[in-house]
Amino acid sequence: MGGGRKHSDVGIRNRLPFNAPQSGPFPGAPLLINWRYEDRGTLVQSLDPRARILLMLCMLGALVQVWDLRWLAGLFALAAAQYALARLSFRETARFWIFAGFIAIALTVFTALSGQSPAGYPARSWIHLGPVTLTWAQLWYALSQLIRILAISLLAIVIPFTINPSLYGVTFRGLGMSDKMAFAMDLSFRFVPSLASEFAGAMDAQKARGFELDFGRGSPVKKIRRMAPLIVPVTINAIVGAEEMVDAMELRGFGTGPRTWYSELTWRRRDCIVLLVSAVLFLGATGAHIAGITGLWVPGRG
């Protein structure tokens, strides 16, 4: 199947009972696992998954090298455009945004308050928060960090919602991985919902036996040992179950020769355009970084 064909079914959905409230393993942390792929027929989903992953990697490489907020704004706008074109509803991604937003804001506030400020910029005060004084340069530095983190989150959030899980294997194979590595990547994504279900089941079974994850009592060693009744059964059951899968795969001749894939990906003109844009972004950011023009920008310096 090419990247532009729609699937006859709605796509591969997970079978987990996520309609019910999640009883997560840790206090205040519901189980967040939710591969909600859906064939939306969007422009983003019509692109070859290989091109999309290369675009993500090139944009990441560009973001890492840039600190100038003007450049960052452009990259952020590109990432936001991809998110908008994916047509993901806020309800679908609300949990991700709450988590990512919390981390981004906490990191930015800490950076701003930690005193990290560009050397050589005037120490012009802007805000007094009790004993803490924020300078103009500190604020722009923190803002640049915030935009970077949000841009990285935007790039990554789109991928699991808009790439068909059945295409992960052939995608990574097409990116140059060996058959075995690509198949392992494919299997990893496929195992996540089933192992998450087992994890939740193990948690419920242990709770029925009086198990409580209480991080408030005892030494650090005791707190860690308290997690063992949850982690050990899930891990060992997964390994033991995997041994049967190994036997089944070997009986079917896995690894005896080159692997063929059920799906086929073909490059189209729009995918080539995406590749060109990716290369321009990464090479342009690298060249600009080498030329020394992507450093932190603080308006009003002088």
Length of the chain: 302
Q: How far apart are CA 67 and CA 176, in angstroms?
A: 31
Q: CB neighbours of 70 closer than 8 A, spacing ≥ 6?
A: 297
Tell me how far, at minimum, the Cβ of 284 lies from other proteins, in Å. 13
**Least Cβ distance, residue 8 to other proteins (angstroms):** 27
Q: Write down the least CB distance from residue 275 to other proteins, Å.
A: 16
Q: How far apart are CA 48 and CA 50, in angstroms?
A: 5
CB of 219 to other proteins, least distance (A): 10
CB contact at 8 A, 291 and 65? no
Cα separation, 153 vs 76, whole angstroms: 10
Q: How far apart are CA 60 and CA 58, in angstroms?
A: 5
Q: Residue 241 CB, nearest distance to other proteins (Å)?
A: 8
CB of 297 to other proteins, least distance (A): 12
Distances in Å between the alpha carbon of 184 and those of 36, 179, 203?
A: 21, 8, 27
User: Residue 209 or 252: which CB sits closer to other proteins?
Assistant: 252
> Is 247 or 264 the residue whose CB approaches other proteins more closely?
247
**51 contacts: CB under 8 Å, gap ≥ 6:** 3, 267, 271, 274, 275, 278
Nearest C-alpha neighbor of 136 from the set 144, 145, 147, 125 = 125
The nearer residue to other proteins, 73 or 105, going by C-beta atoms, is 105
Nearer to other proteins, 47 or 146 (CB): 146
Torsion of CA 130, 111, 26, 218, to 10 degrees: -70
Shortest Å distance, C-beta 115 to other proteins: 8
Nearest to 186 by CA among 267, 249, 275: 249
- Token digits of residue 61: 């490489």
